[in-house]
Chains A and B, each alone.
Chain A
């Protein structure tokens, strides 16, 4: 029933589509501009109390026929009206897109970073981004300088393994006086992988060791240069490629590979557990430990096999497999 209606509505030009049926959509590549028609504005509870006080003041001014009381009441009322415009202006024409979505482990928080771009000559204050994905709603506040952009992060609780959709995000503001709230909905086409929660302790499976060939060290006592990668905090300064910095290419770390480690195979059949999640948790722990010990490891899941390799990329690939395990392909 809903689909034909949706299709019919999509056929209409954007300005004819009823509000609330389709929201703005944004992703990494496409930004959404909060246009006039997508920004809603209503008084807040605080605003309603303020109007009541204004009405009381007006009645008082009428009762006492007090000119200055009229002046004060009308002035505050006018300020209230102008603040409505300020609230609206603070949000309208703001551009939003996804900057990054960082994966996380189940039970942690998936961090989505949004990029707010302000093309106007006026600074925007107190922009609130709220998401109700996950269990509870999450709010962040920032302000965007004139003709500048800023990033705002939402840490969404991720209780379950799998893919976490960011979904609908509410951008709102109450600037300047909190009497009105302007808001707009944006459907973020953003998802983050949620890896299984790592099991507490687990020795490597015996079957996994020694299966592969032992790699010999090429040069005694020293590691082999393997390649470059982006600097991560915690990298030894001895490994930073300083020449790249001089060329304004940012911080780059030289990677070295130890070839003396044995190859490890982490296999689904080696895990024991009542259900899929427990077994995946087990695998997750092995992967993490394997990576922290700087070993080469491969992953074998029903229907999937990843050849042994070493490094962050391998780890991420393996974890991604765990996260999406059981999804229909």
Chain B
């Protein structure tokens, strides 16, 4: 309709626009390659200067070249154009290019819409509370800018900020209703880019020297646990993850026993001291779930495998909550012939000294249990060092090198060489990876397991006892089991453990971080974790069945529609006017005169009216003159005070024509 177009924004509006867009893309500078961030900054600055100094904008040829160059640069940088990272980079660059050719009002709107879309991409990378607050603040700013730039009149930006704030506040209840009630479906609807889940940390399904020590430097939360009643002691807090059977002497991998076999635990023999708890697992882009050693049954999200892992039906790509029961004392019973062969296999012609040591232990001992004790004694008595930065094991016989030469290692070194030693001694053994420990958050009374708690230990099969957990690391560094690693002091290389500290400052810090984690946990559970299942539970609590979609549609329409009607009423019902007391009293004065046959005409000024009254009723002249003068002074001079207002009121009241 409107053909009115601005050739260029005025300078103040341009500054605001550039600031808004800059703040919108700012968090992406963490993900973008440095050249792209700098380029976006440069384009923004150039556009600002161009507006200030009235520089000419580049012609089409230059713009085309720039576009092609940027697309090629992004392709070279990422190797693709459709991934998550390259997609956002492309969007940011598109915004820069649009800025270069910003001439008309329409271009401004394209930029605004691009900015709205860019806002949402931040959440693919991070959904923390600060990020959410930042993005919502940006949305507010963008809406204000949108309002400011749409108007053809000039109003201060402050006005737009206030109006946009009002719009958002009115929209808030509707947003909440939609968030809770809008039908959620299990994503993804279509394929996601390959790098959609990049950046998730966690254990992998193989273990090589150094794999776990790299995790140990991460403070990221792996999962949170809430125990229903009984809490296991520290030395029992082993969280079972991938079980590794196959080795080439250096690396360990999962075996054929990882296949899920059902919901019921295959253990038939004695199981005692059941512990029930709920785990909220952070997404780690792998199929397994973690459970306290030893899971009793599968959960709604995962089946159990024959080597007693929990396996989910698909990779865990969003926060997952599941309830579990585990036994702390157990007997896994007999071993199949296949399992025995698997648990005894050793790579040929590797680690000869380890194998020789194992054989000699077997010969010297009377029982398997004695072999285990003797092997642990070796770790305990010889000068083994528990270190995050062990020397590299680069020979073909890493186990030999570790056991007889370097003797410095992290848990994976101990677990790996111990298992190999056992296999050499004829005892079925395997490596189990997972997490060990859990930090209590007293704020909400739950336990936090972090990536730095990643651990590896061994399991040996002993006749009559079944699979028994042996942690060779505990033999070398028993404090590892009691306390978690202090990553703040890790840079020294030697492992420091978090000691109970007494000084007030660190206590306060500890308390603060626990409070923050409790808030984060609730945020994760209530807001970020709200999905199809939570929606089903919520509706179930309201007495609604998710399958009864007709009824649900009604509830949705009635509730959201009703809310919208309320907002409509709030917006459209006129407010009471705030009548100026001066005007109110003057109108009273006019009404008094009107009753005596002297109505004031609509377009008559106060002075003209007074003149007219004076001519027709000379006896009122003085009073009318005084009231009119006072009225003009109070209403138009802008310097009337409370005392004058009172006098004015009194005079009007006493006025009796």
- Which residues of A approach B to under 8 Å, CB–CB? 44, 46, 49-50, 53, 56-57, 59-79, 81-83, 85-86, 88-89, 92-93, 120-122, 125-126, 128, 139, 141-143, 146-147, 172, 174-178, 181, 247-249
The residue in chain A whose Cβ has the minimal distance to the Cβ of B186 is: A65
A178, B152: Cα distance in complex, Å: 11
Q: Are A141 and B175 in contact (CB under 8 A)?
A: no
A67 touches B528 (CB 8 A): yes
- Which residues of chain B are near A147, meaning CB under 8 Å? 577
**A139:B2 contact, CB within 8 angstroms:** yes
**Interface stretch (choices B132-140, B359-367, B642-650):** B132-140
Q: Would A66 and B123 count as touching, CB distance under 8 A?
A: yes
Q: Choose, from B13-21, B49-57, B113-121, the stretch at the interface.
A: B113-121
A59 contacts B189, C-beta separation under 8 Å? yes
Q: Verify A247–B117 contact, CB threshold 8 A.
A: no
Q: Which of A60, A75, A92, A176 contacts B150 (CB 8 A)?
A: A176
CB <8 Å contact, A75 and B607: no
- Residue pairs across A and B with Cβ atoms less than 8 A apart, 18 shown, are A62-B188, A67-B530, A69-B123, A71-B179, A71-B527, A72-B123, A74-B174, A75-B168, A75-B171, A78-B170, A78-B174, A81-B564, A82-B171, A121-B574, A125-B153, A174-B150, A178-B150, A247-B607
CB neighbours (8 Å) of B575 from chain A are 121-122
Give the residue name and chain of the B residue nearest to A142 (CB): B153
CB < 8 Å: which of B143, B175, B611 contacts A74?
Answer: B175
Q: Does B605 contact A (CB under 8 A)?
A: yes
Number of B positions contacting A (CB below 8 A): 66
Contacts A62-B187, A78-B178, A126-B151; A68 near B135 (Cβ below 8 A): yes
Once the chains bind, are B531 and A61 in contact (CB under 8 Å)?
no
Q: A177 to B136, Cβ gap below 8 A?
A: no
- Excluding A65-B186, A85-B572, 14 further A-B contacts by CB distance (< 8 Å) are A57-B117, A61-B120, A62-B188, A65-B184, A65-B188, A68-B123, A68-B527, A70-B179, A72-B136, A75-B175, A92-B572, A125-B155, A172-B1, A177-B167
Q: Which of B311-356 contact A (CB under 8 A)?
A: 318
Contact of B190 with A by CB under 8 A = yes
Within the complex, what minimum Cβ distance (angstroms) separates B353 from chain A?
52
**Would you call A75 and B1 a contact (CB within 8 A)?**
no
Decide yes or no: A176 and B163 within 8 Å by CB, A68-B135, A85-B567, A141-B152 being known contacts: yes
Contact B147 A177 (CB under 8 A): yes
Residues of the B chain whose Cβ atoms lie less than 8 Å from the Cβ of A172: 1
Q: Is B185's beta carbon under 8 Å from chain A? A: yes
In the complex formed, the residue of B with least CB distance to A120 is B574
Residues of B within 8 A of A93 (CB): 574
Whether, in the assembled complex, B576 has its beta carbon less than 8 Å from a beta carbon of chain A, the answer is: yes
Given A177-B147, A248-B608, residue A82 in contact with residue B571 (CB < 8 A) = yes
**Structural contact, A125 and B151, CB atoms closer than 8 A:** yes
Tell me whether A75 and B151 are in contact (CB under 8 A): no
> Using Cβ atoms and an 8 Å threshold, which residues of chain A touch B124?
64, 66, 69
* Contact residues in A for B135 (Cβ distance below 8 Å): 68, 72
Closest A residue to B188 by beta carbon equals A63
* CB contact list, B79-129 vs A, under 8 A: 109, 113, 116-117, 119-120, 123-124, 127
- A120→B573 CA distance, assembly (Å): 10
Does the CB pair A46–B174 fall under 8 Å? no
Instruction: Give the contacting residue for B172; candidates A61, A66, A75, A247; CB below 8 A.
Output: A75
Do residues B178 and A121 form an inter-chain contact, with CB atoms below 8 A?
Answer: no
**Dominant secondary structure of chain A at its interface with chain B:** helix
The yes or no answer to B639 lying at the interface (CB within 8 A) is no
Is there contact, CB below 8 Å, between B127 and A62?
no
Is there an interface contact between A66 and B127, defined as CB atoms closer than 8 Å? yes
B164 / chain A contacts, CB cutoff of 8 Å: 176
Contact indicator per residue, chain B 521-556, by CB within 8 Å of chain A (1) or not (0): 000000111110000000000000000000000000
Bound state CA distance, A143 and B168, in angstroms? Answer: 23
- Closest CB in chain A relative to B637 CB, distance in Å: 15
**Cα separation A194 to B4 with both chains bound (whole Å):** 28
The answer to whether B139 and A72 have CB atoms under 8 Å apart is yes
The A-B contact count (CB < 8 A) is 165
Contact, CB under 8 Å: A65 / B167: no
Closest approach, in angstroms, between the C-beta of B370 and any C-beta of chain A?
53
Q: Which residue of A lies closest to B128 (CB)?
A: A68
Check if B75 is an interface residue, CB within 8 A of chain A.
no
Complex contacts, B46 vs chain A, CB 8 Å: none
**A49 contacts B117, C-beta separation under 8 Å:** no
**Option from B1, B188, B527, B564 in Cβ contact (under 8 Å) with A67:** B527
Contact of B167 among A46, A71, A86, A89 (CB under 8 A): A86
- Complex Cα distance A143/B163, Å? 15
CB distance from A168 to the nearest CB of B (A): 15
Rounded to whole Å, the gap between the CB of A100 and the closest CB of chain B is 13
Instruction: Looking at the assembled complex, report how far the CB atom of A2 sits from the nearest CB atom of chain B, in whole angstroms.
Output: 28
**Does A74 contact B190, Cβ atoms closer than 8 Å?**
no
Minimum Cβ distance to chain A for residue B496 (Å): 37
B189 touches A63 (CB 8 A): yes
- For residue B269, CB closer than 8 A to chain A, the reply is no
Contact present for B123 and A79 (CB under 8 Å): no
Central interface residue in B143, B196, B531, by most chain A CB within 10 Å: B143
Instruction: Say yes or no: B167 contacts A79, CB within 8 Å.
Output: yes
Q: Is B231 an interface residue (CB 8 A)?
A: no
A72 pairs with B119, CB closer than 8 A: yes
Chain A residues near B655: list those with CB within 8 A.
Answer: none
Q: Which of A74, A120, A181 contacts B1 (CB 8 A)?
A: A181
Question: Which residues of chain B are near A74, meaning CB under 8 Å?
Answer: 174-175, 178-179, 182
Chain A nearest CB: distance from B218 CB in Å? Answer: 23
Asked if B237 is at the interface of the complex by the 8 Å CB criterion, the answer is no
Q: If the complex has contacts A64-B187, A64-B188, A126-B153, are A248 and B175 also in contact, measured as CB distance less than 8 A?
A: no
How far, in angstroms, from A122 to B605 measured CA to CA in the complex? 25
A175 nearest CB across to chain B (Å): 7
CB nearest neighbor in A for B567: A82
Q: Within the complex, what minimum Cβ distance (angstroms) separates B533 from chain A?
A: 11
Smallest beta-carbon distance B640→chain A, Å: 19
B562-592 residues at the A interface, CB under 8 angstroms? 564, 567-568, 571-572, 574-578
Q: Does B380 contact A (CB under 8 A)?
A: no
Q: Is B192 interfacial (CB 8 A cutoff)?
A: yes
Is B146 interfacial (CB 8 A cutoff)? yes
Contact status of A141 and B153, CB under 8 A, knowing A72-B135, A79-B171, A81-B171: yes
Q: Which residues of B contact A121 (CB under 8 A)?
A: 574-578
Smallest CB separation, A130 vs chain B (Å):
8
- Report how far A181 CA is from B575 CA in the complex, Å: 24
B230 nearest CB across to chain A (Å): 33
A183 closest partner in B (C-beta): B1
Give Cα distance in the complex from A126 to B196, angstroms: 44
Q: Determine the chain A residues whose CB is within 8 A of the CB of B147 once the complex forms.
A: 176-177
Complex interface: chain B residues within 8 A of A57 (CB): 116-117, 120
Say whether B167 contacts A82, CB under 8 Å: yes
B197 to chain A, nearest CB (A): 10
Cross-chain contact A86 with B571 (CB below 8 angstroms): yes
Residue pair B611, A247 in contact (C-beta under 8 Å): yes
Chain B neighbourhood of A88, CB < 8 A: 572
Instruction: Kindly state the separation between the CA atoms of A44 and B172 in the bound complex, as whole angstroms.
Output: 24
On chain B, the residues within 8 Å of A143 by CB distance are 153
Chain A residues in 8 Å Cβ range of B171: 75, 78-79, 81-82
